[in-house]
């Protein structure tokens, strides 16, 4: 029985499907979108109603996204709702919604306290908001990948390919 309704064998995924997704992502990376395009929105619906034509999307979608800092990929993420997830990274101020920003801030302000306590710490919060500002200055590219298994495998592949080890980790809890 196929995992997550993926009809491909492992060999097909490794040899053809995932490399094809990578080529599509490389193409998308040639014309990234300023991350600031997504700033100021709290829902995918509101964002798409205003910027949908700009990003060539009318609905949210599952897929992979890459943040670029001066044309260098720095983070690979996946989501069942890419637009919603980008909005969270760029507009929300919680450690769970803006987890990448939290990682960035934790590097700049190392601490031993729990995440929710850190977010209440005035100095850490200031570093968090500064990190979010840095993320907003980056650009982003994305590709749609509909199958969950392909998407999960692709995140690891793309992270390794683009060497985004600073922010990407696959360590589990």
Domain count, the chain: 1
CATH number at residue 75: 3.40.1440.10
170: in domain: no
Show the domain range for 41.
7-162
The rounded distance, in Å, linking the Cα atoms of 26 and 43 is 27
Q: What is the pLDDT of residues 61-93, one digit of tens each?
A: 999 999 999 999 999 999 999 999 999 999 999
Mean model confidence pLDDT for the chain: 96
The rounded distance, in Å, linking the Cα atoms of 42 and 7 is 35
126: in domain: yes
Length of the chain as a residue count: 173
13: in domain: yes
22: in domain: yes
115: in domain: yes
**pTM confidence score:** 0.95
25: in domain: yes
């Amino acid at each position: 029985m196929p995992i997550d309704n993926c009809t491909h064998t492992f060999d097909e995924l490794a040899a053809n499907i995932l490399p094809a997704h990578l080529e599509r992502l490389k193409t998308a990376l040639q014309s990234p979108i300023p991350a600031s395009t997504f700033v100021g929105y709290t829902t995918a619906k509101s964002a798409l109603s205003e910027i949908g034509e700009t990003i060539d999307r009318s609905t949210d979608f599952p897929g992979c996204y890459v943040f670029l800092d001066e044309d260098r990929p720095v983070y690979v993420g996946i989501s069942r709702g890419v637009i919603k997830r980008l909005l969270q990274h760029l507009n929300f101020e919680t450690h769970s919604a803006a987890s990448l920003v939290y990682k960035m801030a934790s590097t700049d302000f190392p601490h031993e306290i729990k995440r929710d306590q850190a977010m209440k710490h005035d100095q850490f919060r200031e570093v968090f908001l500064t990190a979010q500002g840095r993320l907003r200055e980056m650009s982003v590219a994305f590709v749609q990948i509909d199958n969950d298994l392909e998407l999960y495998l692709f995140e690891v592949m793309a992270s390794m390919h683009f060497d985004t080890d600073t922010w990407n980790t696959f360590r589990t809890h």
